[in-house]
């Protein structure tokens, strides 16, 4: 393989090698989206068009009643659609109701069926109210005129959905961020007369610019420039006349204020700085300057002139500028020259004040020898610097047990250079008139490292073999965590995908705690420790209680559930070694100051399941549990081990720091490459922009996807955005199955236990209906 060429590396950061296709006209993505939105807005009947139609064709005395009827239709549409959707969806539903009832006297069977097919179950009173309101509106204008209006709006040609949206598009985005240390454009010019000096601007544009014949100023432009520029001078004189800032002259304050106004800072940042400089007495002045900031800056920076900048007498003339010249400077040289120019400006200001009679301040001089030494040192440093001038430090600390593909990709040169992220290879696309679908295949599993060795149950001690009886070996993730979880007291944070076996990792930490209280002869001191497992929900707590009870039964360890539904007496708590509880219940237990102090002091292991709930509404409860546990460790100098179990989270380092986990020992992060069952992803995008039609198309696509999985013998779970959408979506799926004659695919098999289960469900329903 030949080594990479330097020119290729340089071209990757530029547009030199970009190939342009002159045969096709490129379309910007943003412009094409706007054009498409305008096209959809012009097509079809919309609610604003309905409102405009009735407003134009009715008299003024009837407009108030018309507005009331239109609001009644919108209210009915809101009741039918629901409150979880936006205003666009409600207006689209109102248009659907208007088109449905404009030639009907009452809500008939066909209208009910059409509304039910579009929205699902709906209140009949809302449909009656919409029908009555539409009828009253049509009666005022005439059915024939309304019918002609609807036909005119819906007679447009249907949009061509066959063309693929996304072909021949130029993605316009900025690849690089501007360097915060870059100087202003006028500071990079070789002439020093173009700096941010208020006096120099006034002298350049107001004084003798009209001496030569070519540089005569226009009177109107000059008057406008000086008028805008005099705002600053007038406000400064007014401020100083009030006895404020006696130590500064008007010229100095004008120069300082002009430099601040011409900076790149926002108005909010500049307001704070101006208030610190001028104090509360200059509040009105600050308001005026910020309001007229663009006029003041533009008038002084772009005042009419002959296109040339005058130089201050006594300053060395600028060097001639030749075309196509290249100046190579290091970052240190650029900053040094910037400092040099700034000091030269200050020196000229001091000289001018000395000529006016003021005592000169101590001058700042540069030693040529020192400058030469600094330049030589900068050149020596540049030899070891990268070829590209943009230096970035993307060094990440490598943690031994963190398997994060995104973090590894972010360290590559393409990611740092701002290259576009692409979809993986092997994707499949489907594009039709209804939707566009992208199928992303599952990730390849993580290659097995040479240090990874599976842990077999036969290699464990007697306690481990009793608990994991029936298992041959631990899975891959459990084998990686085994040494730290089973043989150390380190706090742990395990971030792994769902179904990766995090519960067995919690069991390893439980066995480690039991082994620490094991006496010679195989006797376990059960009264010296307590283990607390915090589950996020009561149902999960009951499931974990059943699981740990069966596993720990050979060791004689008692596991009890402590939730709001399962109360335990003090005697039962003392006879229990492991408690499975919820965050709220354990928070109440540990808040008590007297009753349960002995219980909290016996806790030696705290297992927090689903730690990523820190970001949810119940996060503060988990935070208080961890903070109270850490405070107990510090105050009593006792050992309480914390184990956090979570799905993959992006800020695992922050959570590890919060749980006092050593990231080099106890932090374990496994991304999707460690899933026991690889996960594929399918994205489906509905094409229509009509909100009501979107709901209908989404239900239809959802039904097709569900039926495909059911026919393949899989189970399906459908998630929706709102609670009331659950019933609507279910009724829509049932209606589609009946209409297509495919209800048999959704009926369960009548096995030997079907009758017994059906009888139990009937009894439960009768009991709940009493």
Residues in the chain: 770
pLDDT of residue 38: 66
- Determine the Cα–Cα distance for residues 557 and 553; give it in Å rounded to an integer: 6
Task: Give, in order, the Cα–Cα distances in Å from 659 to each of 543, 623, 662, 670.
Answer: 25, 9, 9, 18
Task: Give, in order, the Cα–Cα distances in Å from 522 to each of 464, 514, 519.
Answer: 13, 11, 6
> Angle at Cα 604 formed by Cα 600 and Cα 608, nearest 5°?
85
**pTM tops 0.85:** no
- Determine the Cα–Cα distance for residues 547 and 559; give it in Å rounded to an integer: 9
> Looking at residue 189, what DSSP letter applies?
S
- Determine the Cα–Cα distance for residues 92 and 87; give it in Å rounded to an integer: 9
Q: Pairing mode, if any, of strands 518-519 and 530-534? A: unpaired
Residues 6 or more apart whose Cβ sits within 8 Å of residue 44: 153, 154, 156, 690
Residues 6 or more apart whose Cβ sits within 8 Å of residue 466: 554, 555
> Looking at residue 615, what DSSP letter applies?
G
Helix (H, G, I), strand (E, B) or coil at 473: strand
Counting Cβ atoms within 10 Å, is residue 657 exposed (0-12), middle (13-18) or buried (19+)? middle
Closest CA to 575 of 596, 592, 599, 610: 599
Helix (H, G, I), strand (E, B) or coil at 686: strand
Tokens 């007297």 locate to 594
Query: Phi and psi (nearest 5°) for 388?
Result: -75, 135
CB 364 within 8 A of CB 346: yes
Structure tokens at 510: 């439980």
CB 40 within 8 A of CB 689: yes
- Condensed to tens digits (0 to 9), the pLDDT of residues 234-273 reads 888 888 877 776 556 777 788 778 878 887 777 877 887 8
CB 513 within 8 A of CB 604: yes
Task: Give, in order, the Cα–Cα distances in Å from 440 to each of 3, 636, 678.
Answer: 34, 53, 12
Structure tokens at 67: 């507005």
Spatial strand order of the sheet with 435-440 comes to 428-431, 435-440, 681-686
Helix (H) or strand (E) holding 121: none
- Determine the Cα–Cα distance for residues 505 and 499; give it in Å rounded to an integer: 12
- Determine the Cα–Cα distance for residues 518 and 521; give it in Å rounded to an integer: 8
pLDDT of residue 623: 93
**What is the DSSP annotation of 547-612?**
HHHHHHGGGT--EEEESSSS---HHHHHT-SEEEE-HHHHHHHHH-SSTTHHHHHTEEEEEEE-GG
Handedness of CA 715, 718, 724, 727 (dihedral sign): negative
CB 512 within 8 A of CB 564: no
- Determine the Cα–Cα distance for residues 456 and 472; give it in Å rounded to an integer: 6
Q: What is the CA radius of gyration of the chain?
A: 38
Q: How many CA atoms lie within 13 A of 404 on its CB side?
A: 22
Strands (E), 339-476: 402-403, 428-431, 435-440
CB 156 within 8 A of CB 43: yes
**Secondary structure string (H, E, C) spanning 484-540:** HHHHCCCCEEEECCCCCCHHHHHHHHHHHHHHHCEECCCEECHHHCEEEEECCCHHH
Tokens 């003392």 locate to 574
pLDDT of residue 76: 87
Which long-range CB contacts under 8 A does 203-212 form with residues at least 24 apart?
203/310, 204/303, 204/305, 204/309, 204/310, 205/300, 205/303, 205/304, 205/305, 209/305, 209/306, 209/310, 212/306
> Looking at residue 95, what DSSP letter applies?
H
CB 672 within 8 A of CB 498: no
pLDDT of residue 4: 53
- Determine the Cα–Cα distance for residues 652 and 84; give it in Å rounded to an integer: 34
Task: Give, in order, the Cα–Cα distances in Å from 346 to each of 31, 184, 355.
Answer: 49, 18, 14
Q: Pairing mode, if any, of strands 435-440 and 428-431? A: antiparallel
- Determine the Cα–Cα distance for residues 100 and 87; give it in Å rounded to an integer: 20
Task: Give, in order, the Cα–Cα distances in Å from 311 to each of 194, 201, 363.
Answer: 9, 11, 21
How far does the chain reach from its first CA to its final CA, in angstroms? 81
Residues with pLDDT less than 50, the chain: 21-24, 156-165, 172-196, 205-226, 303-325, 360-364, 390-394, 594-595, 765-770
> Looking at residue 668, what DSSP letter applies?
E
- Determine the Cα–Cα distance for residues 61 and 63; give it in Å rounded to an integer: 6
């Amino acid at each position: 393989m030949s080594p990479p060429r330097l020119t290729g590396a340089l071209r990757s950061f530029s547009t030199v090698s970009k190939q342009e296709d002159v045969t096709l006209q490129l379309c910007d993505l943003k412009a094409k989206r706007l054009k498409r939105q305008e096209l959809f807005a012009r097509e079809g009947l919309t609610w604003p068009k309905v409102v405009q139609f009735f407003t134009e064709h009715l008299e003024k005395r009837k407009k108030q009643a018309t507005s009331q009827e239109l609001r009644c239709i919108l209210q009915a549409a809101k009741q039918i659609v629901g409150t979880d959707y936006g205003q666009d969806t409600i207006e689209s539903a109102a248009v659907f109701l208007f088109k449905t009832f404009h030639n009907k006297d009452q809500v008939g069977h066909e209208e009910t069926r059409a509304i039910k097919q579009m929205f699902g179950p709906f209140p009949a009173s809302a449909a009656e109210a919409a029908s009555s309101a539409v009828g009253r509106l049509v009666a005022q204008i005439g059915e024939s005129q309304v019918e002609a209006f609807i036909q005119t709006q819906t007679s447009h040609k249907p949009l061509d959905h066959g063309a693929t949206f996304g072909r021949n598009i130029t993605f316009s985005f900025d690849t690089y961020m501007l360097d915060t240390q870059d100087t202003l454009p006028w500071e990079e010019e070789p002439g020093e007369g173009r700096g941010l000096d208020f006096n120099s601007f006034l002298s350049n544009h107001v004084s003798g610019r009209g001496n030569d014949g070519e540089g005569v100023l226009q009177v109107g432009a000059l008057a406008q420039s000086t008028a805008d520029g005099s705002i600053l001078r007038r406000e400064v004189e007014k401020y100083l006349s009030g006895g404020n800032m006696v130590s500064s002259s008007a010229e100095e304050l004008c120069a300082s204020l002009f430099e601040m106004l011409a900076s790149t800072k926002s108005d909010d940042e500049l307001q704070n700085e101006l208030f610190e400089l001028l104090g509360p007495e200059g509040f009105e002045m600050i308001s005026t300057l910020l309001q007229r900031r663009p006029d003041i800056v533009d008038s002084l920076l772009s005042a009419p002139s002959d296109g040339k900048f005058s130089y201050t007498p006594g300053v060395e003339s600028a060097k001639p500028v030749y075309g196509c010249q290249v100046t190579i400077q290091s970052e240190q040289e650029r900053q040094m020259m910037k400092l040099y120019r700034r000091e030269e400006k200050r020196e000229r200001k001091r000289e001018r004040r000395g000529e006016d009679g003021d005592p000169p301040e101590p001058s700042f001089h540069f030693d040529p020898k020192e400058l030469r030494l600094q330049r030589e040192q900068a050149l020596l440093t540049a030899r070891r610097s990268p070829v590209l001038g943009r230096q970035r430090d993307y060094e990440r600390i490598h943690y031994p047990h963190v398997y994060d593909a995104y973090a590894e990709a972010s360290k590559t040169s393409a990611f740092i250079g701002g290259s576009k992220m692409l979809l993986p290879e092997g994707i499949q696309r489907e594009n039709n008139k209804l939707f566009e679908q992208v199928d992303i295949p599952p990730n390849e599993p993580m290659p097995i490292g040479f240090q990874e060795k599976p842990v077999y149950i036969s290699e464990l001690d007697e306690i481990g073999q009793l608990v994991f009886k029936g298992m041959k070996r631990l899975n891959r993730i459990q084998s990686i965590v085994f040494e730290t979880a089973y043989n150390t007291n380190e706090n742990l944070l395990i971030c792994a995908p769902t179904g990766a076996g995090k519960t067995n990792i919690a069991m390893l930490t439980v066995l480690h705690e039991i082994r620490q209280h094991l006496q010679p002869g195989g006797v376990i001191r059960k009264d010296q420790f307590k283990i607390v497992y915090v589950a996020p929900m009561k149902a999960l707590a009951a499931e974990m209680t059943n699981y740990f009870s069966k596993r720990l039964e050979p060791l004689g360890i008692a596991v009890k559930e402590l939730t709001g539904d399962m109360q335990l007496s003090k005697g039962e708590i003392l006879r229990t070694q492991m408690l499975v509880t919820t965050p709220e219940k354990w928070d109440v237990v540990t808040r008590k100051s007297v009753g349960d102090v002995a219980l909290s002091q016996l806790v030696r292991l705290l297992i927090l399941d689903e730690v990523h709930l820190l970001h949810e509404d119940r996060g503060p409860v988990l935070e208080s549990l961890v903070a109270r546990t850490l405070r107990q460790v510090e105050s009593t100098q006792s050992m309480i081990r914390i184990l956090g179990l979570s799905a993959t989270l992006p800020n695992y380092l922050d959570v590890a720091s919060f749980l006092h986990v050593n990231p080099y020992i106890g932090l374990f992060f496994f991304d999707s490459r460690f899933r026991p069952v690889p996960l594929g992803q399918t994205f489906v995008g509905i094409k229509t922009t009509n909100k009501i039609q979107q709901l209908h198309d989404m239900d239809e696509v959802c039904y097709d996807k569900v039926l495909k999985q059911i026919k393949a013998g899989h189970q399906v779970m459908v998630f929706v955005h709102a609670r009331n959408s659950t019933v609507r979506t279910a009724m829509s799926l049932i209606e589609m199955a009946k209409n297509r004659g495919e209800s048999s695919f959704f009926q369960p098999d009548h096995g030997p236990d079907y009758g017994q289960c059906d009888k139990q469900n009937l009894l439960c329903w009768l009991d709940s209906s009493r």
